[in-house]
Chains A and B, each alone.
Chain A
């Protein structure tokens, strides 16, 4: 079974631009979560999608948004990039149920975003 894939793997953008990152979950997984990892703040939860609906959102500004498609693939978008948005962005997929029960998460390799 193929693992979680993320594209692109590396990205360099300029302040003020916007960026879209993509995540394809493991086949059969309907839940996708996004995380930001920086040396200063560590790992932080961005948002979680299940069956095309945002189930939960972390404490990030509105510049960070996401969506999930009917095939469970997910994208996240960051508008008006700031230098502090430079980070490793990870997505993870799981079998999380409609009742909210948690299942093991499988992480993708991440997209390393550099904002200059």
Chain B
């Protein structure tokens, strides 16, 4: 069965803290996406990964194919990082895309 588990569901942190959001999936994938959704609905694609690690500014995404796990890290977090972060996985066997439930991040100034 294609499953995607994301944790934590909610996360509140102080400005400047290092943030980690996790995503685990059940079977083989062809790609994993990290998305950001701000209040009001707009979704921005942050990263697309099939292996290794990617970095963009203060954001870092890693994926471990053997462990079927990905992490999104935010360094030096800022209130403007407050948003819902969603992991989306495209599964190999049926090419379907399944989304995690999302992590609601709130960074306090």
Contact = CB atoms under 8 A, between A and B. Distances in A.
Interface of A: 33, 37, 42-45, 48, 55-56, 58, 88, 90, 92, 100-107, 109-110, 112
Contacts of B30: 100-102
Contacts of B76: none
B41 A105 contact: no
Contacts, number: 55
Contact of B41 (A48, A92, A101, A109): A109
Q: Please classify the interface of chain A as helix (H, G, I), strand (E, B), loop, or mixed, using the class held by over half of its residues.
A: strand
Interface string B17-40: 000000000000011010100000
A105 B102 CA distance: 17
B95 A55 contact: yes
B45 A105 contact: yes
A33 B97 contact: yes
A58 B94 CA distance: 10
Given A42-B102, A45-B97, A56-B95, A106 B90 contact: no
